[in-house]
Chains A and B, each alone.
Chain A
Amino acid sequence: MTDDSGSIRERGSAALDRLVDATAAERITISLASLVFAIIVGAVLVFVSGFVADCADPFIYLPGLGYGCYNPLEVYWTMLTGSFGSMTVIGQTLLQTTLLLFTGLSVAVAFRAGLFNIGTQGQMVLGALATALVVLELAAYVPDNAIGMVIVLSTGVIVGAIVGGFWGMIPGLMKAYANAHEVITTIMLNFVAIGIAFWLVQVHVGDLTTDSVQTETVPAVARFPATISGSRFSVIALIGALLVAAGIYLLYTRTVIGYDLRTSGIQETAAEYGGVNAKRNIVTSMTLSGVLGGIAGAIYVMMVQYRWQAGIPPLGFDGIAVSILAGNNPVGVIPAALLFGSLKTGSVAVDLSLGVPGELVEVLRGLIILFIAMPEFFRMIGKRFGYGNGSVATDGGEAQ
């Protein structure tokens, strides 16, 4: 989209320098500070909305303003107990965490290479559909036992990975060979992916006996075995996600391939001088990112929904927040995914028991992304209170 790729590369390398200079402690500080600020703004929002909403027993009366329905502290407390208070909700939290690990890693892998993949959602939706269709077919040919389950589940994950990877490869090719900005192309491809999937399921491959746009339900052999009663969470999927996180960490810190992938996106020219095929590596990074998004979709079908259904939750966008909060570090993605998993699960309890709309989490997600995008804000605050001399810098990514 731009002709001045030279200056973007330079800025990218400047960002990389700053990243290297910024210590892990600084990055963690910024992430935690952003989290705190998002929670404070969220609390104000909840408190103020309490005066607009109607309720039977308000918790506060302010002269001139009327009755306030929501106590922010109670909201956050309910969010905590609603995500860790019982085995069932812990299962739900871990279930969300598993999915967010994959989408967060998907975004992080691209970010590491200086690419901003907003297309995880589309990669996930198409991967999920492919998985649902293949396992529905395959389940008829395998024995209804543990062996059959291993075959179906692994095939399902592979199919999701392939289709998601293919969908991620497209913006990679566009970026590498036509210099089309990946932010624009991945957003567009999200709409295209969701449109195609919706159309396919509605008109061709869906369960035509219902009015809802969905496929048939996958049989038991294509479902991850539940670990905790009352939840569909399967520890197998979580372990898989953690192994993938560790694998990606090792890939980027311990291998030459990982190093090449990183430099290709951030300093294409430098990488080319070093004898690396930078264009191919950009495509590889985006494909790998798509693979992880596709696996998230596969897990979603085989562990959560047990079918493909229109209106898949925005886990891909949550993944952006997870990755940015984690400083795009594959290990950092683990606590960030757990945090968002508990926010998502806790919001259900907040909605049910306090009547505060669960969309609150989406607002918090946006606020966290916003605060992390402006490290300068925290630097100024820090300066005002006399701390540091201020080269704390992170912009949520290694490149623009």
Chain B
Amino acid sequence: MNAPSLTRRQGLVIGVILFGLLTLGLIIDGGRQLISDVTGVLSVSYLTSAIRLTVPIAFAAMGGIFAEKTGVINIGLEGLLIIGAFGAVASLYALSATPIGANIWLAFVLAILASTFVALLFAIVCIEFKADQIIAGLAVWLIALGFAPFASIIIWSRTSSPSVGTFSTVSIPGLAALPSIGPLFEATPPVFLLALAVPFSWYLLNRTTFGMWIEASGEDPKSLDTAGVDVRKVRYAGVLLSGVYCGIGGAGLALNTGQFVGSGDTMIDGRGWIGLTAYLIGNYNPVGAFLASFLFAGLDALQLQLQQIAGYDVSSTLVEIIPYVAVLVVLTFVGRTRMPSAAGEHYESDE
């Protein structure tokens, strides 16, 4: 793998996107005014909302990296996010009727367990029953997309839940009191989890034995097997990690808004797919995937803020398709991201 050229490539992508935005700003009516409004919007409050929107995308992206690096392509990320979001709200709703009460952390954990359980089923299907990973991943998405509104109607008689409560903001003592950048250190727990998860994932993949196993499981399972490591177990671990990460991402999103919305594409609304594109653009590097996720979330936040503050009628629909167009451009023109060579293949141990 040629590291310097990849970095250039990523830089190029980000440059192309920023340049595109700039051009867009100049060619449409009142472009200069727009640009000055955009720079006006770029404040600390904008950053905090962008980071909040990054949570589900980046967690899905990092989860996808773990699964695919071990050799199991998990395109069911969107479905796992849906399970995480629905699981969090449904658990919180159910808990409030029990003596335990509406414990938001317990609901968060239950949501992660739910998403991890679905990931386990996906892993069994792919590893034990040698299913086609793409088709099985698609099935995970379609099942979740049908199941979440189905269950919502069963529980709440409509596709969306009532408000069930949200994570309260946590401040980091000292840092939150800093002038101007202080608000960055006041956020909900999932945001802080993200700040921890990115370096943690990078470290896990690049500096630990487990990370080497993951790499080998996707690149050269035979050698890993020869070295005495069970490829199946490593692959299970990778897929389960993707379940955990998606659970955090989905639950984090739902417990920030305090409600599950199940209509249309559900409240996840393609964020799992954007996560998938983010790690392709970030070329399987958690830090790169995070940056790409942040870029996409930042666009979304920008569009929201512009509509609120400057009263622009920026079509949210058009802004929403930018990530998808970006990944199409990357895949077609900038160059291919390199998949792990054994990804998608079933591995049969000779034992």
Cross-interface CB contact of A188 among B145, B318, B324, B339, cutoff 8 Å: B324
Residues of A184-222 contacting chain B, CB below 8 A = 184-185, 187-189, 191-192, 195-196, 198-199, 202-203
Residues in A with CB closer than 8 Å to B339 are 1-4
B287 within 8 A of A: no
A361 to B144, CA, bound (A): 12
Q: Are A198 and B317 in contact (CB under 8 A)?
A: yes
* A253 adjacent to chain B (CB < 8 Å): no
B341 touches A (CB below 8 Å):
yes
**Cβ A203 vs Cβ B154 within 8 A:** no
Residues of B within 8 A of A324 (CB): 135
- What is the CA–CA distance of A191 and B277 in the complex, to the nearest angstrom? 13
Question: Which residues of the partner chain A approach B229 to less than 8 Å between Cβ atoms?
Answer: none
A380 and B129 in contact, given A357-B154, A360-B150, A363-B146 (Cβ under 8 angstroms) = yes
Known: A195-B320, A199-B315. A357 touches B270 (CB 8 A): no
Q: With an 8 A cutoff between CB atoms, is A369 at the interface?
A: yes
Of B27-35, B195-203, B234-242, B328-336, the one with at least 4 CB within 8 A of chain A? B328-336
* Residue interface bits A353-395, CB-to-B below 8 A is 1, else 0: 0000101111111110110111011001000000000000001
Does A396 interact with chain B (Cβ within 8 Å)?
Answer: yes
Q: Are A366 and B142 in contact, with the CB atoms below 8 A?
A: yes
A239 at the interface (CB under 8 A from B): no
Contacts of B131 in A (CB 8 A): 370, 373-374, 376-377, 395
Distance in angstroms from A235 CB to nearest chain B CB is 31
Q: Which residues of A contact B320 (CB under 8 A)?
A: 191, 195
Q: Are A359 and B150 in contact (CB under 8 A)?
A: yes
**Closest CB of chain B to A340's CB: distance in Å?**
13
B138 at the interface (CB under 8 A from A): yes
Inter-chain CA distance A116–B338, complex, in Å, is 20
Specify which of B315, B324, B337, B344 is in contact with A192 (CB 8 Å cutoff).
B324
Q: How far is the CA of A195 from the CA of B143 in the complex (A)?
A: 23
Complexed CA–CA distance, A60 and B103 (Å): 33
Complex contact A202–B317 (CB within 8 A): yes
Say yes or no for A118: interface residue by CB 8 A criterion: yes
> A-facing mask of B269-295, CB < 8 A → 1, else 0?
010010011001000000000000000
Say whether chain B's binding surface is mostly helix, strand, loop, or mixed.
helix
CA distance A174 to B335 in the complex (A): 11
A320 within 8 A of B: yes
Contact A116 B142 (CB under 8 A): no
Find chain B residues with CB under 8 A from A22 CB: none
Contact of A49 with B331 in the complex, beta carbons under 8 Å: no
Q: Which residues of the other chain, B, contact A1 by a CB distance below 8 angstroms?
A: 280, 331, 336-337, 339
- Contact pick for B135, options A199, A362, A373, CB 8 Å: A373
Q: B264 within 8 Å of A by Cβ?
A: yes
Within 8 A of A (CB), among B119-149: 125, 128-132, 134-136, 138-147, 149
User: Quick one: which of A294-321 are within 8 Å of B by CB?
Assistant: 311, 317, 320
Q: Smallest CB–CB gap between A301 and chain B, Å? A: 20
Residues of A contacting B276 with CB < 8 Å? 184
A400 to chain B: closest residue by CB: B344
Report which of A118, A365, A374 forms a contact with B130, defined as CB distance below 8 A: A374
* Interface pair A178/B345, CB less than 8 Å apart: no
Q: Which residues of B contact A370 (CB under 8 A)?
A: 125, 131, 135-136, 139-140, 143
Given contacts A1-B331, A189-B328, A196-B321, contact A357 B132 (CB under 8 A): no
Complex interface: chain B residues within 8 A of A369 (CB): 135, 138-139, 142
A355 vs chain B, min Cβ distance (A)? 9
Question: How far is the CB of A277 from the nearest CB of chain B, in Å?
Answer: 20
User: Within 8 Å CB of B227, what residues of A?
Assistant: none
Task: Given A187-B273, A357-B150, decide whether A376 and B142 contact each other with a Cβ distance below 8 A.
Answer: no
Give which listed residue, B128, B142, B145, B317, contacts A195 with CB less than 8 A. B317
A370 to B149, CA, bound (A): 19
Contact assessment for A174 and B328 in the assembled complex, using a CB-CB cutoff below 8 Å: yes
CA separation between A187 and B128, bound complex, in Å?
27
Judge whether A373 and B139 touch: CB under 8 Å: yes
Per-position binary interface string of chain A over residues 172-189, scored 1 when its CB falls under 8 Å from any chain B CB and 0 otherwise: 001000111101110111
Q: Are B344 and A49 in contact (CB under 8 A)?
A: no
Known: A361-B146, A376-B131. A188 touches B138 (CB 8 A): no
B146 touches A365 (CB 8 A): yes
Nearest A residue (CB) for B144: A366
- Chain A 321-375 residues near chain B, CB threshold 8 A: 324, 357, 359-367, 369-370, 372-374
Between B146, B149, B339, the greatest number of chain A beta carbons within 10 A of the residue's beta carbon is seen for B146
A11 at the interface (CB under 8 A from B): yes
Q: Is the CB of B331 within 8 A of A53?
A: no
Asked whether any CB of chain B lies closer than 8 Å to the CB of A257, the reply is no
Q: Which residues of B contact A11 (CB under 8 A)?
A: 345
Tell me whether A367 and B143 are in contact in the complex, defined as CB-CB below 8 angstroms, given that A357-B154, A376-B130 are known contacts: yes
Residues on B with beta carbons closer than 8 Å to the beta carbon of A72: none
- Residues B325 and A192 in contact, CB atoms below 8 Å apart: yes
**Chain B residues near A49 (CB, 8 Å)?**
150-151, 154
Residue of A nearest to B274 (CB): A191
CB distance from A318 to the nearest CB of B (A): 10
Can you report 28 A-B residue pairs in the complex whose CB atoms are below 8 A from each other?
A: A1-B337, A2-B338, A3-B339, A49-B154, A178-B331, A178-B332, A178-B333, A180-B336, A184-B280, A184-B327, A192-B325, A196-B321, A317-B142, A357-B150, A357-B153, A359-B153, A362-B147, A363-B147, A366-B140, A366-B141, A366-B143, A367-B139, A367-B143, A370-B125, A373-B125, A376-B128, A376-B130, A400-B344
Sample of 19 more A-B contacts, CB < 8 Å, known A188-B328, A317-B142: A2-B338, A3-B338, A45-B150, A118-B138, A178-B332, A184-B331, A187-B75, A188-B325, A189-B328, A191-B270, A192-B321, A195-B321, A199-B315, A202-B317, A357-B153, A363-B147, A369-B138, A376-B129, A397-B132
Query: Which B residues are within 8 Å of any A CB, using their own CB?
Result: 75, 125, 128-132, 134-136, 138-147, 149-151, 153-155, 264, 270, 273, 276-277, 280, 315, 317-318, 320-321, 324-325, 327-328, 331-333, 336-339, 341, 344-345
**Top 4 closest pairs, chain A to chain B, by CB:** A362-B146, A366-B143, A370-B139, A366-B142
